[in-house]
Amino acid sequence: MRARQIARRSALIGLVVLGVITASEPADRDQRWRLTGGCYCRIAGEMRCLGELPEPQCARRCGDELCDDWFWLERLPCWTWGYGG
């Protein structure tokens, strides 16, 4: 009888913990969609900033622009590399 109660409580605690972890994941994923940052694209050796975009939009735009390489800097604006602007 006592073992059954322990098993039930353990299962209940496990379900609560799993629910808390699962509930927090979509918020993290949604947060990543909202964060903007500098989207940099390298084409033929020239690095340029495509604007301040969320990461998924940066990846899509770099694919559309046929970038050789790209990276996204979270929460940082585009930097002009000292050329004015």
**Domain range spanning residue 60?**
35-74
Q: Are residues 28 and 40 in the same domain?
A: no
**In sequence order, what E strands does 1-85 have?**
36-43, 46-54, 69-74
> Would residue 84 count as lying in a domain?
no
- Give the three-class secondary structure for 53: strand
Q: Are residues 70 and 39 in the same domain?
A: yes
One digit per residue, pLDDT tens: the chain, 85 residues? Answer: 687 777 677 766 766 665 555 555 555 556 555 789 999 999 998 988 998 999 999 999 999 999 999 999 888 888 866 665 4
Q: CA–CA separation, 16 vs 13, rounded Å?
A: 5
Q: Are residues 1 and 28 in the same domain?
A: yes
Alpha carbons within 13 A on the beta-carbon side of 29: 6
> Would residue 82 count as lying in a domain?
no
